[in-house]
Chains A and B, each alone.
Chain A
């Protein structure tokens, strides 16, 4: 399974969940598979999905899912200690670990070599780290969203991409409809 297969399987489960999608292909794939106002698509700024999601989780009470990637977490490695030390039990970080920088042409990441992000997360102090194989990912996300404990899921899958259109929606529209959804949920 590749990342887009996981996202396709995951879409019905997270349809109503506040979801921050990582930059590039993950955002484009989710936008194509099942665009929802509860999705925040990152159009720029590689690496910050987990930080945006953490800020959101700390600021309000609804559950927040971040769909991130191994390359993106490596770009913003400082995020893991911040997450570990600012526990938000409404926060679920799904790191789809395909060992490659998918959006730029599948160049290998260090996470696909010696570096194990699940071990990094634990070493940073994250207390609830789950490793899932690609086909176990949807269940792992369901369990995490049903629980009340901050969870980091590292989902292992193969590298590879499908053809997807870019997102042409205006960033202010993406942000506005996301914020309106958050307001409704917290009302």
Chain B
């Protein structure tokens, strides 16, 4: 099965109906499938902290939500993750393109890549790293876990997972 379908099907199975995205080449296929799926309200954000605000509102309105973004966004959203998502105890699966890993052609992306896991660890955010396509088999359980514990959870997906740039 196409990896984008695997991910979107899991979202739908877990009733994640409100998904916000900030564009990324690697995540382009998932974003397109979210836009096309009749059970998902796809709302593009202009910045990732805005997207987390939208997700917080949708969650309080009774809809499970998720954000799809690049790892550079961890730098942008620390305050929001801490004082909104974590402080009010809200679940938020974050499907993250892990730029700056093996195969990365853009040197600057490596600069945030080296901080990504350390920042997530500092924030006590449960973090999963998809390196091979078979790793996506855990996505189901990760979603279940996120909505069980009401925490933001990071799923880092690197270039090897997506099959290169």
Contact = CB atoms under 8 A, between A and B. Distances in A.
A60 B61 CA distance: 6
B83 to A, nearest CB: 3
B13 interface: no
A48 B60 contact: no
A49 to B, nearest CB: 8
A86 B43 contact: yes
A38 to B, nearest CB: 12
A183 to B, nearest CB: 7
Interface residues of A, number: 35
Interface string A28-44: 00000000000010111
A58 B41 contact: yes
Contact of A58 (B61, B84, B89): B61
B89 A51 contact: no
B126 interface: no
A78 B80 CA distance: 15
A45 B49 contact: yes
Interface string A168-184: 00011011001100110
A82 B43 CA distance: 8
B54 interface: yes
Nearest to B90: A175
Interface size class of B (residues with CB under 8 A): 20 to 34
A45 B61 contact: no
Nearest to B77: A45
B154 interface: no
Given A55-B65, A59-B62, A175 B89 contact: yes
A69 interface: no
Contacts of B79: 44-45
Q: Does more than half of chain A's interface fall in helix, strand or loop, or is it mixed? A: helix
Given A45-B80, A52-B56, A54-B57, A59 B63 contact: yes
A174 B59 CA distance: 14
B70 interface: no
Contacts of A128: none
B55 A55 contact: yes
A161 interface: no
B52 interface: yes
Nearest to A55: B57
Interface in B49-88: 49-63, 65, 79-80, 82-84, 87-88
B58 A55 contact: yes
Interface of A: 20, 40, 42-45, 47-60, 76, 78-79, 81-82, 86, 171-172, 174-175, 178-179, 182-183, 186
Interface of B: 18, 41, 43-47, 49-63, 65, 79-80, 82-84, 87-90
